[in-house]
């Protein structure tokens, strides 16, 4: 009887943790397909990762950087868009015109803040985001809300 009560108590205490883990946001990584950058205006900061092949070592390295620290990108409303098919001209590929591997960071305001022809760590990406005017305002609003 005591073991059952203790187990029930542990389950009750653990339930909020399980629910919090289930409700935790996940980093969205989507294929470019028919998406357009305007779809994300004022909603998210697209990080577009281009390559001529899904086997490009730079592309794989960039995805490894991203999946290593997704929480930092989630906190900054980043959405990762991938495009590894240069033969199919997606609207995003047509607009940004990459040559081989390239990452492009776009602000919530639609501005292209960063273009890099090589992989960048999440730390470097988040530092760039934290310098954006809208992100500075978001951080100030968060501080005032506390």
Place 2 in a pLDDT band, splitting at 50, 70 and 90: very low
Residue 1 has pLDDT above 60, yes or no: no
Structural domains of the chain in order of their starting residue, each with its CATH number: 26-145 (3.40.30.10)
d(CA 59, CA 65): 10
d(CA 99, CA 41): 25
What the block records as the tokens of 85 is 């098919």
Averaged pLDDT, 100-127: 97
What the block records as the tokens of 17 is 């943790």
Per cent of the chain over pLDDT 90 is 75
In this prediction the pTM is: 0.81
What's the pLDDT tens digit per position in 77-111? 999 999 999 999 999 999 999 999 999 999 999 99
Q: Across all residues in the chain, what is the average pLDDT?
A: 88
Averaged pLDDT, 114-127: 97
Beta-bridged to residue 25, according to DSSP, are none
Type and span of the H or E element at 61: helix 57-68
Residue 17 has pLDDT above 60, yes or no: no
């Amino acid at each position: 009887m005591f073991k059952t009560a203790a187990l029930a108590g542990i389950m009750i205490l653990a339930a909020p943790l399980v629910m919090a883990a289930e409700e935790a946001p996940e980093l969205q990584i989507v294929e470019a397909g028919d998406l357009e950058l305007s779809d994300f205006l004022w909603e998210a900061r697209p990080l577009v990762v281009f390559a001529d092949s899904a086997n490009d070592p730079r592309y794989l390295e960039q995805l490894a950087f991203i999946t290593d620290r997704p929480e930092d990108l989630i906190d900054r409303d980043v959405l990762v868009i991938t495009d590894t098919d240069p033969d199919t001209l997606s609207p995003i590929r047509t607009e940004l015109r990459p040559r081989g591997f390239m990452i492009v960071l776009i602000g919530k305001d639609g501005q292209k803040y960063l273009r890099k022809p090589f992989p960048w760590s999440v730390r470097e990406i988040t530092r760039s985001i934290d310098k954006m005017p809208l992100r500075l305002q978001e951080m100030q609003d968060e501080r005032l809300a506390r």
